[in-house]
């Protein structure tokens, strides 16, 4: 006897998949753009993660982020390569810092961290986590540390950009009656 398992995708699963698909497309487009220094890229896919975090909840943002890393790497062909491990460790670190800041915002609403702060913190955590793994697991050479401040500067700039974009996008979505927020 085989037992059938039915998996029902609810509306929440559908919109999470939709946001993840958007993030994956941006991720793949960005992977095709050459960068001047290895390790530096805008990370615009994180705009989607931030929008989901700001308009929905942390759990949905975690889903979107991890689906993006997983499916993005499978489509690009870097699944389980060092690139994937770096991407995953960065994603996990940025999610951890976002969770921390969302908790902070709940505890202290007057001292709220806005989209730009969230973007900057997430980008720097992403870079920091990636760098830590790269340094400890792949290239334990002190010369690599020279690159760290440069990479973090880029992360800060691009983090501010993604945060600003996410905030602006949320404002537009809030004013658009067609973009009704599905039930939380």
Partner 1 sequence: MKTTPADVALIIGLALIIGTLYARYWSPNAAPPTHALIRVDDAPARRVPLHVNDRIVVTGRLGDSVLEVRDGRIRFASSPCRRKVCIRSGWMHDAHDATACLPNRVTLSLAAADPHYDGVSQ
Instruction: Name the site residues for partner 1 (rule: CB under 8 A).
Output: 104, 111-117, 120-121, 124, 140-143, 145-146, 148-149, 152-153, 156, 160, 163-164, 167-168, 171
CA dist 71 and 27 (Å) reads: 10
33 φ, ψ (degrees, to nearest 5)? -90, 125
Residue pair 90/130 in contact by the 8 Å Cβ criterion = yes
Nearest residue (CB) to partner 1, 22 versus 160: 160
Give the shortest CB-114-to-partner 1 separation in angstroms: 4
Nearest residue (CB) to partner 1, 11 versus 149: 149
CA dist 45 and 50 (Å) reads: 9
Nearest residue (CB) to partner 1, 60 versus 155: 155
Give the shortest CB-32-to-partner 1 separation in angstroms: 28
Element (H, E) at 154: helix 147-174
Give the shortest CB-122-to-partner 1 separation in angstroms: 11
Nearest residue (CB) to partner 1, 36 versus 143: 143
Give the shortest CB-138-to-partner 1 separation in angstroms: 13
Residue pair 73/87 in contact by the 8 Å Cβ criterion = yes
CA dist 71 and 63 (Å) reads: 12
């Amino acid at each position: 006897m085989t037992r059938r398992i039915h998996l029902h995708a609810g509306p929440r699963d559908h919109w999470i998949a939709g946001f993840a698909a958007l993030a994956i497309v941006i991720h793949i487009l960005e992977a095709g753009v050459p960068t001047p220094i290895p390790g530096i890229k805008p990370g615009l896919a994180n705009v989607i993660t931030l929008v989901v975090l700001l308009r929905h909840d942390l759990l949905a943002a975690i889903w979107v982020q991890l689906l993006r890393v997983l499916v993005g790497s499978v489509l690009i062909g870097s699944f389980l390569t060092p690139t994937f491990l770096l991407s995953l460790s960065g994603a996990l670190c940025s999610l951890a810092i976002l969770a921390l800041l969302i908790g902070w915002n709940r505890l202290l609403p007057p001292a709220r961290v806005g989209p730009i702060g969230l973007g900057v913190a997430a980008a720097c955590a992403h870079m920091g986590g990636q760098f830590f793994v790269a340094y400890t697991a792949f290239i334990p050479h002190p010369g690599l540390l020279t690159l760290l401040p440069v990479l973090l500067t880029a992360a800060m700039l691009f983090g501010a950009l993604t945060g600003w974009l996410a905030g602006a996008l949320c404002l537009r979505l809030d004013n658009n009656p067609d973009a009704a927020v599905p039930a939380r």
